[in-house]
C-alpha cells in the first residue's frame, strides 16, 4: 500500500512537471539525484530562479521545501536566497506587498561594493522595484531603479544595466510617457549581452520594444521586434516572455482585423500562461482577451469578463491559497473601467455606462495622488546626479596621468554643473509651488465629489431599506399579529409569540438604521431624544425599574451618521444590560457636553459586576468595545461607590 501511494504521488507530480520546460525538467532531475541535503538545497534554489517559467503551485512546493532546509542552515547567504525564492512565489501569486516585505530586510546585508554580494543586491532590489510597479506606485519603483542603474554602470554589469533600463522603460510606458519609454528600452537593447549565456535581457527588450512600437502605430516594426523576442523567448525557455510576445502579436493582428491570426496567438498565449499561473492574475493578458472579444463581435462576453476582472479583495497574504484573484490597483482598474464604459455605451446600457464613468473618475483621482509628476522627476534627477558622481569617481582613477589643463577643465565643468543646479533648483521651486496648488485644487474637487457620492449612497441605502426590507418586515409583523393565539395549538403558541417579538425587533432596528442613514450628521440632543423614545417603547416590560435621562448639554455637538449610530447602539446596549442584569431599581442615562468634550453614562444601583469576568462572557461588551474603538472613543465600566455599576463613553468635539 505504501509503495502504491508513493507511485501515485510521483505520477501527480509528473503531471505538473511535464507541463513546463525541458530546462526545468533537467533542473528538477538534479534535485532528485542530490545525495545530501545541502546539495539538494542548492539545486532547489537554482530551480526557483526559473520562476518565470514555473507553475505557481510547483514553485510554492519547492519554496516550502527550501524554507525547511534553509531554517537549519547557519549560512546567511543561503537564508537570503531562501527569502528571495519565497518572494518569487509571492510574485507569481500576485502578492506584491508580501514579496517586497520579504526582500526589504535582506538588502542592507549585501553592499554592492562587495563583488561577492553584488548579485544578491541586484536580485533583491529588482524584486522590490517590480513589487512597487505592480501596485502602480511608479514613484517608488523609479526611485529603486534609478538607485540600481548607476551602480550597475559603475561596475559595468551589462546584464543589470539592460534589465534595469528596460524596466524603467516599462514603467514610463505604463505611465503613457512613450518618448521616455522608447529611450530607456533602446538603452536596454543596446546594453544587452549578445552571447548565448544570458539572452534574457535581449529577449525582454525586444518584446518591450515591440509593445512600444505597437502603441505608436509602427505596426511592421512592432511585428518584427516582437517575433524576434518570441524566438529568443522560446530559445531560453522563458514562458513569461513567450506569453507576452504572443499577447502583443494578438493585439497587432486584431488591430489589422486579421482575427484568425489574432485568435491563434491568443489561444497559444493562454496555453503557455496556464503552465505558470492562473491566466486571470495577469492584467495585460486579461485586457488583451477582453479587447479581442469586443473587436471580434462578442461584446456581451467582453462586458462580463471586464466585470469579473474588476473584483476587489485582499492582495496581501502570508499563506498560499487557490482563491479568487482581485484587482485593487487604481492604475489597472482605470484600464478596465475605460474598456467597460465604452462597451456599455456601445451596447446601449446607458445607466451602467454612467455608473462606470463615476467609478472611472474616482480611480483616476486615486491614481493622480499616487504618481505626482514632481516626485517622478525628482527620482530621475537623483539618478542623473548619481551618474555624474560615478563619472567623476572614474575620472579620479586616471587623474594622476593628466596634466594641469585637465584639472582646469574639470574645475570649469564643476562650475557649469553648479550654475546649472542652481538654475534648476530655482525652476523646480517654482514648479513645486505650481504643482502644489494644482494638487490642492484637485484634492478639493475630489473631496467634494466623494462627499456628494457618499451622501447619495447613504440616502439610497436608507430608501432601499425602507421600501424593501421595511415593507417586508411590516408585512410579516402584520401577518403574525393577525394570528389569534387563543386558536393556536399550545405547542406552537410560544413559537408564534417569539416570531411576534422578533418581527417587532426587526422593525425597531430598521427604523433606527434608517433614522441614522437619512442624516449626514446628528446632534447629541437628537440622539438623546431617540434614546428617550426607545425607553418609552420598552419600559413597560420592566415595572420595577425607574429610568431617567439627564441632559447636561452646553454645546450641542454634531456627530457623523456612523458615529451617531455607534453612540446610540452603545447607550442602547448599556440600557439593556442594566434592565436585564443589574437587579436594581433605578437606571440613569446622563449625556454631557461642553465646547471640547462630551460623555454618555449609563448607571444603575444594582448588584454590580466583575468587569474581567464579564468581558470574557458573551458578545455584548465586546461589541461595545469594538464600536468605541471604531469611533476612537474611550469606554470603561466602573463599580459605583453606593452599589451598582456604570458604563462610561467619552470623546472630543474634534
Domains of the chain: 15-93 (no CATH), 521-652 (3.30.565.10)
Q: Which residue has the higher pLDDT, 616 or 358?
A: 358
Dihedral sign, Cα of residue 415, residue 417, residue 423, residue 428: negative
Q: Which pLDDT tens digit goes with each residue over 446-486?
A: 666 655 555 555 555 655 455 555 455 555 666 666 665 56
Report whether 198 contacts 160 (CB < 8 A): no
Most confident by average pLDDT, 214-223, 426-435, 616-625: 214-223
Would you call 216 helix, strand, or coil by DSSP?
A: coil
- Rounded CA gap, 364 and 161, in Å? 33
In sequence order, the 6+-apart residues with CB closer than 8 A to the CB of 146 are 168, 379, 380, 382, 383, 386
Asked whether the predicted pLDDT for residue 592 surpasses 80, the reply is yes
Reported confidence tier of residue 590, pLDDT bands at 50, 70, 90? very high
pLDDT given at position 324: 47
- Look-up: residue for cell 530551480? 47
pLDDT given at position 482: 63
Rounded mean pLDDT, 388-415: 64
State the pTM of this model: 0.48
Q: How far is CA 372 from CA 184, 330, 360, 368, in A?
A: 20, 14, 19, 6
Asked whether the predicted pLDDT for residue 271 surpasses 90, the reply is no
Angle in degrees, CA 130, 335, 222, rounded to 5: 75
What's the per-residue H, E or C state across 297-340? CCHHHHHHHHHHHCCCCCCCCCCCCCCCCCCCCHHHHHHHHHHH
What's the per-residue H, E or C state across 50-78? CHHHCCHHHHHHHHHHHHHHHCCCCCHHH
pLDDT given at position 378: 54
Mean pLDDT, the chain, rounded, equals 79
Q: Burial of 146 by CB count in 10 Å (0-12 exposed, 13-18 middle, 19+ buried)?
A: buried
Quote the radius of gyration of the chain (alpha carbons, Å): 33
Q: Which pLDDT tens digit goes with each residue over 148-195?
A: 999 999 999 999 999 999 999 999 998 889 999 999 999 999 998 887
Asked whether the predicted pLDDT for residue 300 surpasses 80, the reply is yes
Q: Which residue has the higher pLDDT, 210 or 514?
A: 210
- Rounded CA gap, 194 and 395, in Å? 28
Residue 307: count other Cβ atoms within 10 Å of its Cβ. Answer: 13
Asked whether the predicted pLDDT for residue 515 surpasses 70, the reply is no
Reported confidence tier of residue 504, pLDDT bands at 50, 70, 90? low
First to last CA, the chain: 71
pLDDT given at position 331: 67
Report whether 604 contacts 580 (CB < 8 A): no
Asked whether the predicted pLDDT for residue 647 surpasses 90, the reply is yes
Q: Burial of 145 by CB count in 10 Å (0-12 exposed, 13-18 middle, 19+ buried)?
A: buried
Q: How far is CA 571 from CA 606, 611, 613, 648, 650, in A?
A: 18, 18, 21, 9, 12
For the chain, give the percent of residues with pLDDT over 70.
Answer: 73
Q: Which pLDDT tens digit goes with each residue over 563-579?
A: 888 888 899 899 988 89
Q: Which pLDDT tens digit goes with each residue over 76-128?
A: 999 999 999 999 888 888 888 999 999 999 999 999 999 998 999 999 999 99
Q: Which residue has the higher pLDDT, 282 or 346?
A: 346
Asked whether the predicted pLDDT for residue 646 surpasses 90, the reply is yes
φ/ψ of residue 257, rounded to 5: 65, 25
Would you call 465 helix, strand, or coil by DSSP?
A: helix
Least confident of 10-19, 126-135, 169-178: 10-19
- Rounded CA gap, 642 and 175, in Å? 69
For the chain, give the percent of residues with pLDDT over 90.
Answer: 27
Rounded mean pLDDT, 526-551: 88
- Rounded CA gap, 143 and 132, in Å? 10
Report whether 259 contacts 271 (CB < 8 A): no
Half-sphere exposure of 50 (CA within 13 A, CB side): 24
Report whether 216 contacts 250 (CB < 8 A): no
Would you call 549 helix, strand, or coil by DSSP?
A: strand
Amino acid at each position: 500500500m505504501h509503495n502504491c501511494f508513493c507511485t501515485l504521488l510521483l505520477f501527480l507530480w509528473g503531471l505538473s512537471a511535464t507541463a513546463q520546460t525541458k530546462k526545468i525538467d533537467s533542473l528538477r532531475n538534479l534535485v532528485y539525484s542530490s545525495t545530501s541535503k545541502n546539495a539538494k538545497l542548492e539545486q532547489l534554489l537554482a530551480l526557483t530562479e526559473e520562476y518565470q517559467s514555473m507553475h505557481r503551485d510547483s514553485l510554492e512546493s519547492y519554496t516550502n521545501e527550501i524554507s525547511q532546509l534553509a531554517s537549519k542552515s547557519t549560512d546567511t547567504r543561503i537564508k537570503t536566497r531562501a527569502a528571495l525564492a519565497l518572494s518569487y512565489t509571492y510574485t507569481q501569486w500576485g502578492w506584491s506587498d508580501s514579496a517586497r516585505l520579504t526582500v526589504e530586510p535582506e538588502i542592507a546585508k549585501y553592499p554592492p561594493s562587495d563583488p561577492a554580494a553584488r548579485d544578491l543586491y541586484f536580485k533583491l532590489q529588482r524584486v522590490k522595484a517590480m513589487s512597487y510597479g505592480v501596485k502602480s506606485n511608479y514613484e517608488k519603483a523609479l526611485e529603486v531603479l534609478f538607485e540600481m542603474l548607476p551602480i550597475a554602470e559603475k561596475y559595468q554589469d551589462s546584464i543589470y544595466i539592460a534589465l534595469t533600463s528596460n524596466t524603467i522603460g516599462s514603467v514610463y510606458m505604463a505611465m503613457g510617457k512613450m518618448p521616455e519609454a522608447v529611450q530607456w528600452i533602446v538603452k536596454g537593447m543596446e546594453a544587452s549581452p549578445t552571447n548565448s549565456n544570458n539572452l534574457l535581457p535581449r529577449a525582454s527588450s525586444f518584446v518591450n520594444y515591440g509593445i512600444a512600437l505597437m502603441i505608436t502605430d509602427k505596426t511592421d516594426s512592432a511585428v518584427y521586434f516582437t517575433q524576434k523576442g518570441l524566438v529568443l523567448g522560446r530559445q531560453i525557455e522563458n514562458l513569461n516572455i513567450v506569453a507576452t510576445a504572443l499577447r502583443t502579436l494578438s493585439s497587432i493582428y486584431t488591430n489589422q482585423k486579421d482575427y484568425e491570426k489574432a485568435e491563434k496567438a491568443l489561444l497559444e498565449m493562454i496555453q503557455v500562461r496556464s503552465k505558470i499561473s492562473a491566466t486571470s492574475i495577469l492584467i495585460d493578458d486579461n485586457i488583451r482577451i477582453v479587447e479581442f472579444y469586443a473587436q471580434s463581435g462578442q461584446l456581451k462576453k467582453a462586458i462580463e469578463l471586464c466585470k469579473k476582472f474588476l473584483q476587489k479583495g485582499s492582495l496581501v497574504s502570508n499563506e498560499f491559497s487557490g482563491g479568487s484573484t482581485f484587482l485593487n490597483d487604481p492604475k489597472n482598474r482605470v484600464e478596465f473601467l475605460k474598456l467597460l464604459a465604452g462597451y456599455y455605451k456601445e451596447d446601449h446600457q446607458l445607466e451602467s455606462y454612467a455608473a462606470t464613468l463615476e467609478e472611472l473618475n474616482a480611480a483616476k483621482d486615486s491614481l493622480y495622488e499616487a504618481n505626482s509628476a514632481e516626485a517622478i522627476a525628482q527620482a530621475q534627477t537623483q539618478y542623473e546626479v548619481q551618474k555624474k558622481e560615478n563619472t567623476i569617481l572614474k575620472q579620479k582613477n586616471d587623474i594622476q596621468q593628466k596634466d594641469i589643463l585637465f584639472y582646469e577643465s574639470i574645475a570649469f565643468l564643476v562650475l557649469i554643473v553648479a550654475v546649472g543646479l542652481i538654475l534648476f533648483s530655482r525652476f523646480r521651486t517654482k514648479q513645486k509651488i505650481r504643482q502644489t496648488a494644482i494638487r490642492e485644487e484637485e484634492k478639493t474637487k475630489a473631496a467634494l465629489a466623494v462627499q456628494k457620492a457618499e451622501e447619495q449612497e447613504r440616502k439610497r441605502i436608507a430608501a432601499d431599506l425602507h421600501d424593501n426590507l421595511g415593507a417586508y418586515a411590516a408585512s410579516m409583523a402584520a401577518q403574525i399579529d393577525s394570528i389569534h393565539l387563543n386558536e393556536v395549538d399550545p405547542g406552537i403558541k410560544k413559537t408564534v409569540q417569539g416570531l411576534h417579538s422578533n418581527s417587532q425587533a426587526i422593525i425597531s432596528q430598521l427604523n433606527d438604521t434608517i433614522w441614522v442613514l437619512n442624516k449626514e450628521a446628528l446632534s447629541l440632543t437628537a440622539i438623546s431624544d431617540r434614546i428617550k423614545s426607545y425607553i418609552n417603547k420598552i419600559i413597560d416590560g420592566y415595572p420595577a425599574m425607574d429610568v431617567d435621562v439627564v441632559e447636561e448639554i452646553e454645546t450641542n455637538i454634531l456627530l457623523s451618521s456612523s458615529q451617531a449610530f455607534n453612540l446610540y447602539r452603545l447607550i442602547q446596549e448599556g440600557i439593556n444590560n442594566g434592565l436585564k442584569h443589574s437587579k436594581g431599581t433605578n437606571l440613569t442615562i446622563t449625556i454631557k457636553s461642553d465646547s471640547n468634550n462630551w460623555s454618555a453614562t449609563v448607571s444603575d444601583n444594582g448588584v454590580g459586576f466583575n468587569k474581567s469576568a464579564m468581558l470574557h462572557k458573551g458578545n455584548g461588551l465586546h461589541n461595545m468595545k469594538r464600536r468605541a474603538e471604531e469611533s476612537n472613543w474611550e469606554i470603561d465600566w466602573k463599580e459605583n461607590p453606593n452599589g451598582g455599576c456604570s458604563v462610561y463613553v467619552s470623546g472630543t468635539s474634534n
